Amino acid sequence: MSKIYPFYPTRKTQCLDGLWNFSWLGTVETDTVTPYTPTSLEPATVPGVFDTAARRCNARGVAVYQRDVTCGPGWQRLEIGGLGLYGRVFWDETVLGECTGPYTPYSFDFETTAGCHVLTIVVDNRFSEERPTLMHPFADFYAFGGIYRSVMLSDLPERRIERVVVRTPDIKTGCVDLFVHTAGFTDGKHDFEISFDTGDAQTYQLNISADMAEISLHVPNFQVWSPDSPALHTVTVAADGDAAVERFGIRIVAVEGEQILLNGKPVRLLGVNRHESHPQFGPLAHPQLMLEDVMLAQDLGANFIRCVHYTQDPLFLDICDRAGILVWEESLGWGNPKEDAAHPLLRRAAIDDTVTMVQRNINHPIVLFWGFLNEGASDTQEMRALYSAITTAIRAVDPTRLVTFASNRGTRDICFEFADVISVNMYPGWIDSEWNTPCNDLVKPRIDEFVKWASEGTRTGKPLLMSEIGACGIYGMHDSGRAQWTEEFQADFLEEACNAVLNNPRFAGIALWQFFDTRSFVHVGHIRTKPFGMNLAGLLDAYRRPKLAYAKIREIFKRHGAISQTEKPTTIPAVGKHLRSNLRSDI
């Protein structure tokens, strides 16, 4: 697999991806399943999901993934990049723990003996009141069953470097602040070897207190990261035989009044919302598919991707780092009601999953925004308390980035004060339509009405972002009357929406809903709103074939110009230009 940062060059690491033994148990109780339960075995891939295959398409139930693993004695760390919706993990007969949130990465540290062992992961993709999650049946993206991302096993040194967080406060001198998180070291002074890029290591004596040491250093021959020039650096920190390698970019993110600043200069965001979704592979994002999605975004003229509605595959963020595509990274949530905020387990999960996302992706220079709980009940006092707690937790981990959340509560929202950027999801003329008014005639008046409200009171002086707006169009469906659900209707609607947003100086940018069609809920709820069980609002269909709207948005985005670190807009780089110039052997 591709190398993902951080990585640990001195540790023995096994990627456990590939063919596993698989057993479908259906509607049994998850708590009764043990490593000995499977009676009939078949092959399955990891990563892989069981509910996109023809024999179990859209099935909900319990499945068992199992394989042999050989390792040495001592402490090990098992990492599961994400699964859904619930998982229980066994090492031989011992329960290592549970994965209680879909898409969220989990790791388990344990001690074992040398030799061959059996790793068992029990997966249940049913919605359960006994095991509630932040994912609900009504969420407008499909809740897949299986192991979404890679499974890794690593030797775990007794004294080790867990992470190196890199903050970049100074783009003029290249001075960076390193926060070295350790485990197993005693408090006090210890020698560390630190090097940047391919340079020689230097020895520094750092003081460890509560498993962390800090130092500020200048990066030799540094370059500033920007979308026009996505220069990346690495730092290697080693001590007592262990080492961690992190990659970062030197840049500064801030707000000034109603503008978003990157490296001290205003940016205008032209973007799309992107799920990890494919008709055959579900949430599995193959490296080539991720790369081609980024190249398509560049061809569209986009400089920004809102990653919805869960933590994304880290390789996708690595690719965006190299391509110069700015990102909104978001923890799990969709339409969460106020009851979730009052539920102790879900309240804790909303905070913990968000903090895990921030900690995992903190060194990616592309991340402008940390987001959470898309379209939650932010017009209620219960959610107000939770939103306050989440934003406080984010800023405690990372005070350098902007915090926001996508709201569909309009002028009823009572949580915008916690956000650095006001982000709004609106569908005037599509979801919000009228019998006697043509759809497109509703778009600009409704947007202008919200802009007026967002420019009053405590909301004055904050950047405003259209985080979702769009309409559906079925690929290949055409009509001379430009009726709803046709490609013509969708293209007309998006042109009207883009003009209403991008011609209004109050907006710092837009993220269109959505990049490509994605699987939604099936056989439940308001099925008439989801033809074929799909959200069909993509500029591309699910196989990335362009609709008429793609060409129209490409024309609009090119006209408005991509992000530039100069006052004069520049042309978007050629497709893949930055990716090719930054490719190294470590990808």
pLDDT in tens, 558-568: 999 854 433 33
Query: Could you tell me if 369 and 392 lie in one domain?
Result: yes
SS3 577: helix
Name the nearest CA neighbour of 384 among 405, 362, 357: 405
Provide the pLDDT for residue 530. 87
Domain interval for residue 578: 266-582
Query: Could you tell me if 379 and 487 lie in one domain?
Result: yes
* Class of residue 318 by CB neighbours under 10 A (exposed 0-12, middle 13-18, buried 19+): buried
| Contacting residues for 172 by C-beta, under 8 A, at least 6 apart | none
Q: Is the pLDDT of residue 326 over 50?
A: yes
42 in a domain, yes or no? yes
Query: Could you tell me if 246 and 331 lie in one domain?
Result: no
In whole angstroms, what is the distance from residue 271 CA to residue 540 CA?
Answer: 14
Sorting pLDDT into bands at 50, 70 and 90, what band is 434? confident
| Contacting residues for 53 by C-beta, under 8 A, at least 6 apart | none
Cα 62 off chain centre by: 26
Which 8-state DSSP code applies to residue 575? T
Query: Could you tell me if 224 and 90 lie in one domain?
Result: no
Is-contact 510 271, C-beta < 8 A? yes
Among all chains, which residue has been given the structure tokens 């390789």?
315
In whole angstroms, what is the distance from residue 308 CA to residue 335 CA?
Answer: 13
Q: What are the tens digits of pLDDT across the range 40-95?
A: 889 999 999 999 988 899 999 999 999 999 999 999 999 999 999 999 999 999 99
Number of domains in the chain: 3
Query: Could you tell me if 114 and 214 lie in one domain?
Result: no
Provide the pLDDT for residue 291. 96
Name the nearest CA neighbour of 555 among 329, 356, 348, 301: 301
> Radius of gyration (Cα) for the chain, nearest Å?
24
In whole angstroms, what is the distance from residue 141 CA to residue 522 CA?
Answer: 10
Among all chains, which residue has been given the structure tokens 């990627």?
15
Provide the pLDDT for residue 346. 96
In whole angstroms, what is the distance from residue 85 CA to residue 384 CA?
Answer: 27
260 in a domain, yes or no? no
Domain end point (choices 201, 218, 251): 251
Q: Average of pLDDT values for 100-129?
A: 96
SS3 72: coil
Is-contact 345 86, C-beta < 8 A? no
Q: Can you give the pTM of this predicted structure?
A: 0.94
Q: How many CB atoms lie within 10 A of CB 476?
A: 10
Provide the pLDDT for residue 40. 81
Name the nearest CA neighbour of 111 among 82, 139, 125, 91: 91
Cα dihedral 316, 317, 319, 324, rounded to 10, equals 140
2 in a domain, yes or no? no
Query: Could you tell me if 563 and 482 lie in one domain?
Result: yes
Domain end point (choices 155, 181, 212): 155
- Considering the chain, what percentage of its residues have pLDDT values greater than 90? 88
Query: Could you tell me if 59 and 130 lie in one domain?
Result: yes
Provide the pLDDT for residue 525. 72
Query: Could you tell me if 377 and 521 lie in one domain?
Result: yes
Name the nearest CA neighbour of 419 among 459, 446, 363, 476: 459
Give me the CATH number covering residue 199: 2.60.40.10
Query: Could you tell me if 422 and 545 lie in one domain?
Result: yes
Sorting pLDDT into bands at 50, 70 and 90, what band is 3? low
Q: What are the tens digits of pLDDT across the range 342-358?
A: 999 999 999 999 999 99
In whole angstroms, what is the distance from residue 559 CA to residue 470 CA?
Answer: 19
Provide the pLDDT for residue 59. 93
Q: Average of pLDDT values for 428-435?
A: 89
* Dmax (CA) of the chain: 75
Three-state secondary structure string covering 442-505: HHHHHHHHHHHHHCCHHHCCCCEEEEECCCCECCCCCCCCCCCECHHHHHHHHHHHHHHHHCCC
Q: Average of pLDDT values for 487-498?
A: 98
257 in a domain, yes or no? no
- Considering the chain, what percentage of its residues have pLDDT values greater than 70? 95
282 in a domain, yes or no? yes
Name the nearest CA neighbour of 571 among 557, 556, 560, 561: 561
155 bridge partner residues:
76
Count CA atoms closer than 13 A to 369's CA, side-chain side: 29
Query: Could you tell me if 141 and 210 lie in one domain?
Result: no
Give me the chain's average pLDDT, please. 93
Name the nearest CA neighbour of 234 among 321, 294, 315, 303: 321
Within 21-117, residue ranges assigned H as helices are: none
459 in a domain, yes or no? yes
Q: Average of pLDDT values for 374-394?
A: 98
Establish whether the linkage from the previous residue to 47 is cis, with ω within 30° of 0. yes
Q: Average of pLDDT values for 376-382?
A: 98
84 bridge partner residues:
146
- Asked which of 252-261, 398-407, 456-465 is least confident by mean pLDDT, the reply is 456-465
Structure tokens at 216: 């500020």
Q: What are the tens digits of pLDDT across the range 173-200?
A: 999 999 999 999 999 999 999 999 999 9
Q: Is the pLDDT of residue 153 over 90?
A: yes
Query: Could you tell me if 474 and 433 lie in one domain?
Result: yes
In whole angstroms, what is the distance from residue 254 CA to residue 263 CA?
Answer: 8
Query: Could you tell me if 232 and 276 lie in one domain?
Result: no
Sorting pLDDT into bands at 50, 70 and 90, what band is 249? very high
Domain end point (choices 199, 216, 251): 251
Strands 507-512, 269-274: pairing is parallel
In whole angstroms, what is the distance from residue 251 CA to residue 176 CA?
Answer: 10
Provide the pLDDT for residue 540. 98
Give me the CATH number covering residue 556: 3.20.20.80
